[in-house]
Amino acid sequence: MATMDIDMQAAPVIGELPDEVLWLAGGQRYCVCAFYTPNYLPQILSLKASVEALGINHYFKCYQPRGGWEANTRIKADFVAHALTRVPDHDVAYLDADSVVRKPLVLFDQPTADVTILFHHRKKYKLEILRIAAGTLLVRNTPGGRAFAAAWAAEAAKAAPIDVDEDLIYRLMPTLGGVSYAALPRSYYKIFDSGGTVQPVIEHFQASRGQFKVRKTRRRIRQIGTIVGGVVLALLVWWVATHLRISWR
């Protein structure tokens, strides 16, 4: 792929973008980094415009699709590891391509951990669940941050076809002693239609909602199978009970 370091004043016209764009004149200790596949060009252009308007360092790189949606999410692990070497004097503030930056990223100016990620609480039945979301992710260019990224990329290399990027993080976190983590504020990962009163610093638009997802389809098939199985069992019980009653009479 072609590589080009460009200046904001020399940006390509709307609708076009080099395969690799790097601008580091913003003065921040971090660099906003995002990868995209060609079908996400409109989204990456919106993200690019938002960081340019705020004068934020940025690095964008195009990748060819690797298969389905799940496989494409795993590009993130390789890209973050690559970005740490591409901008060795900066921390990597990874953002999904379908996000925009609404306000200055002041939190990233004074990071407190090797990795800053969103933890969100969910309650399912009687279980208390703590989930992660990696659409916004700060990985510092420290030994701990680089170890995290390397382990993430290694997990991606041996992932199952339906694994997504966050599955890999769950697996690697218990294996990395010494890597520190901090919780990302919700305002740095605000879903555009999630409601609430949180004012977004970074807003995500969930462009993947319209894409085919193998794991989601499998889950729906299992749910349908459970429902159908329950109906069949109920009919069988009814049939047996009815015929036994007739026979008894």
- Rounded to two decimals, the pTM is 0.79
Is 12's pLDDT higher than 80? no
Output the DSSP codes for 198-240.
PPPSEEE--GGGGS--HHHHHHHHHHHHHHHHHHHHHHHHHHH
Task: Please name the helix (run of DSSP H) or strand (run of DSSP E) that holds residue 127, with its range, or none.
Answer: strand 127-139
Categorize the per-residue pLDDT at 11 as very low, low, confident or very high, splitting at 50, 70 and 90: very low
* Mean predicted confidence (pLDDT) in 96-121: 96
Strand order in the sheet with 190-191: 99-101, 202-204, 190-191
* Mean predicted confidence (pLDDT) in 38-42: 94
Is 218's pLDDT higher than 80? no
Q: Which residues pair with 190 in a beta bridge?
A: 203
Q: Which residues pair with 58 in a beta bridge?
A: 23, 32
pLDDT attached to residue 211: 64
Q: Which of 56-60, 127-131, 163-167 has the lowest mean pLDDT?
A: 127-131
Categorize the per-residue pLDDT at 243 as very low, low, confident or very high, splitting at 50, 70 and 90: low
pLDDT attached to residue 122: 82
**CA angle (161 as vertex; 59, 144 as ends), nearest 5:** 45
**CA angle (128 as vertex; 162, 116 as ends), nearest 5:** 65
Mean pLDDT of the chain: 85
pLDDT attached to residue 213: 53
